[in-house]
Amino acid sequence: MSSSEGRAIVSHDTHDNGGWKMESVTVRKPGEGELMVEMVASGVCHTDALIGNLPNGAAPIAFYPRVLGHEGELLCQNLHVNNEVADWTSR
């Protein structure tokens, strides 16, 4: 399975410790039954901000590193169905 490149806010430590960085990330291609979307805009919500200041391991969802931001404007890029990829970029 191949991959593509993207940009993301990656949290390596709490925000207060300067652990949030905009970085290049590798994104794997979708597998069977998975959908790949392009996130064209995103915000860091209250939950991201709250969790982003918890020490590592303080809660089951407080771990590092992690990619922040999940509320955004999305474009469907391709859909992997029955070992074929349906290209939606021209629609």
Per-residue pLDDT tens digits for 50-79: 877 888 878 787 788 888 877 777 777 666
pLDDT of residue 61: 76
- In a 13 Å sphere around the CA of 79, the CA atoms on its Cβ side amount to 7
Percent of the chain whose pLDDT exceeds 90: 8
Cα(56)–Cα(24) distance, integer angstroms: 22
Strands (E), 1-91: 3-11, 20-28, 35-43, 66-68, 71-81, 84-87
pLDDT of residue 44: 82
Cα(61)–Cα(59) distance, integer angstroms: 5
Q: Where are the domains of the chain?
A: 3-87
Q: What is the pTM of this model?
A: 0.64
83 — pLDDT class (breaks 50, 70, 90): low
Per-chain mean pLDDT for the chain: 78
CA atoms 26, 57, 44, 76: torsion sign: positive
